[in-house]
Structure 1
Amino acid sequence: MVLLSFDIEEFDMPFEYGKTISFEDQISISRVGTIAILDLLDKHQVKATFFCTVTFAENIPDLIKRIVDTGHELASHGYYHSDFKPEHLLQSKLKLEELSGQEIIGYRMARMMPVDEREVEKAGYSYNSSINPTYLPGRYNNFHVSRTYFKQNNVLQLPASVSPWVRFPLFWLSFHNLPLGIYKSLAKWAYQKDHYLNIYFHPWEFTDLNDFERFGFPAYVRKNTGEQMIARMDNFIAYLKGKQYPFGTIQQFLKPLIHDVKKQR
C-alpha cells in the first residue's frame, strides 16, 4: 500500500534560516498548500494521512472538515510545531478529536525528532511515525533502527521509507532534488521490497518558496516548489496508480496490527 502523508503545520521554517514571518503568513501559506494537496488527492481519488498541529487545525476548520469528510485520516503532529512538552501528546490528541469529531490514533513528532515512546503510549496513541531510519548529518542517526514497521512499548512504529541496502531517504527533499525518474525507481524498489511505501511532505512545498529575501531557503529547499511541486506530485501519483499500487491511510494499513496492540494494553 502507498501511504502518502502530509505534515500540515504553521509554516515556521523560515525561522530556521534567520528570517521572520508573521503568524498570519504562516497559516495562509500552509493553507494554500493544503488546498493544493487535497485537490490533487481528489483528482486521483486516493486517500492519505494528515499529521496536523493543533495550532494549524484551529485556524483551518473548513479544511479539517474537508479532510475528514473526504475519507482521509487525521493524526497528531503536536500542539505547536516549534514547541514540545510531553503533556502536548495527550492535549493535542484530545483537541484534534474535539475539532474533527474523529478518533486520533497516530502521532508524528515535529521535524521527525525523537520522542519518548512510553509517553506516546500513555497518551493513548496506537502508532508513531516519527522515525527516519537513515543518517543525515545534524538531523538523523538511525541506522540501528528497523527500516520497516515494528512494535515498541505497545506502540506500532512506522518509519519513513528509505531504499533497501543503502537506506537512501525517500523524504520530501529527495523528491525535490532527484530527477523524478530516479526517485520513481527508488520508490518502486522500496515498495517491492517492503510491500508498502511511507513518504511524507508538507503543504508549504506546494507554494512558491523562491523568494530568498523573504524565506532564506537554500537552493535545495526551494527547488521544484509551487507549481512545479504540484506537477511532480501529480505525475508521481499517476505513475504509482499505473503500477496498480493501492493507496490508503496509515490507519487502514496498520488496522490488523492496531487491533492486537489494543488487546495487549
Structure 2
Amino acid sequence: MILLSFDIEEFDMPLEYQGKIDFQEQLSVSREGLIKILNILQKYNAKATFFSTVVFAENNQDLIKRLLAEGHELGSHTWYHSQFEIEDLKKSREKLSELFGVEIKGLRMPRLKDVPNEDVLKAGYVYNSSLNPTFLPGRYNKLHISRTYFKEGNLHQLPASVSPWRIPLFWLSFHNFPVAIYRHLAKRALQKDGYLNLYFHPWEFMDITKASYQLPGFTCKNTGSAMEKRFDEFLAFLAKQKHTFATFSQFLKLK
C-alpha cells in the first residue's frame, strides 16, 4: 500500500535562507505546483492525503474543493507555516472543517516540529504524521522512534517511511538519490513494512532556482519539470507493480 502525502503551504522556504519572496508569490508557486500534482494523481487514479495550512486553503479554496471531489483526504498543517502557537492546533482543524465541510482527522506539523501528544488529542485529531524516524544533521535525531505505524495512547502515529537501514525516503531523498537507488530502497521498505509513507510539497514541482530565493542546491535539485517527470515515472513504476494508493484514513481503517 502506498501512502502519498503533500504539505500544501505558503512557499516560505527562501526566507529560511535569507532569500526574497513576497506573500503572493509564495501562494502562486504552491498553487501552480498543486495543480500539477493533482493532474498526475488523476492520471493514475492515485488517492493521497494533503496537509494544508489555513492560510493556503483560504486563498485556494477552489483547489481544496477539487482535491476533495477527486477523493483525496484533507488534514491540517496548522494555521501558518512559519509561526505556531499551540492554539493553532484546534483552530486550524476547526477552520478547515468549517471551510470545506469535512472532518479533519490528521495533523502534520510544519517542518515536522515536535508537539505534545496530549495537545494533539485535545485539539481533536485522530492521527499525527510529524515524525521522520531518521537522523538529519541540524534538524533532528529520531533514530529511537519506531520506523513504522504505532499507537501512543489514543493517538495514531504515522512516521514517514525510511529504509530498513533508516535511510530517509522523504522529498529530499527523492530529488537527490539516483532513481535506481531510490526505487531499490523504496522496494526494500515495502517488502519489510507492507506500505510506504512518502511526503512531498507543491513547490517541488516548480522552478525554484531563482537567484533571489538563495536556496542551496540540494533543496532544488531535480525540481520543476524534472520533478514532474520523476514523480510521474515513479507512480507508473508503482502502478505497474499493482500497488494500491490510499489515504491515511483508509490505511488506519485497516489497522
Distance 2:207 2:215 in 1: 11
Q: How many Å separate the matches in 1 of 2:11 and 2:153?
A: 32
**C-alpha distance in structure 1 between counterparts of 2:55 and 2:139, whole Å:** 24
Q: CA deviation at 1:20?
A: 2.2
- Map residues 47-62 of structure 1 onto 2, 5 A cutoff: 47-62=47-62
Partners of 1:142 and 1:113 lie apart in 2 by 12
Contact 2:127 2:157 in 1 (8 A): yes
Any gaps of 5 or more consecutive residues in structure 2?
A: none
Q: Check the 8 A contact 1:81/1:110 in 2, yes or no.
A: yes
* Conserved? CA contact 2:5–2:48, under 8 Å: yes
- Map residues 8-157 of structure 1 onto 2, 5 A cutoff: 8-157=8-157
TM alignment of 1:162-241, pairs within 5 A = 162-164=162-164, 166-211=165-210, 213-241=211-239
Residues 121 and 153 of structure 1 are in contact (CA less than 8 Å); yes or no, is this contact kept in structure 2? no
Q: How much identity, in percent, do the aligned residues show?
A: 59
Distance 2:9 2:62 in 1: 15
Counterpart amino acid of 1:224?
Answer: N
Taking the aligned partners of 1:108 and 1:153, their CA distance within structure 2 comes to 18
2:242 equivalent among 244, 251, 263: 244
**Conserved? CA contact 2:9–2:52, under 8 Å:** yes
The 8 Å contact of residues 118 and 153 in structure 1, kept in 2 or not, is answered as no
SS of 1:104's partner is coil
Q: Distance in 1 between matches of 2:247 and 2:93?
A: 18
Distance 2:23 2:31 in 1: 12
- The residue aligned with 1:260 is none
Alignment of 1:250-261 (within 5 A): 250-257=248-255
SS in 1 for 2:159: coil
| TM-score under structure 2 length normalisation | 0.99
In structure 1, list runs of 5 or more residues that go unmatched.
258-265
Are the counterparts in 1 of residues 19 and 215 from structure 2 also a CA contact under 8 Å? no
Q: Where do 4+ consecutive residues of structure 1 move more than 3 Å?
A: none
Measure, in 2, the Cα distance between the counterparts of 1:226 and 1:131: 26
**Structure 2 CA distance, aligned partners of 1:237 and 1:91?**
35
User: Matched residues in 2 for 1:129 and 1:117: separation?
Assistant: 12
State the shift of 1:113 in Å.
Answer: 1.4
1:25-51 Cα distance to aligned partner (Å, 9 max, x none) = 000000000000000001111100000
- So what's the TM-score if we normalise by structure 1? 0.95
Decide whether the 8 Å contact of 2:90 with 2:124 is kept in 1. yes
> 1: CA distance between counterparts of 2:250 and 2:41?
17
Local SS of the residue matching 2:80: coil
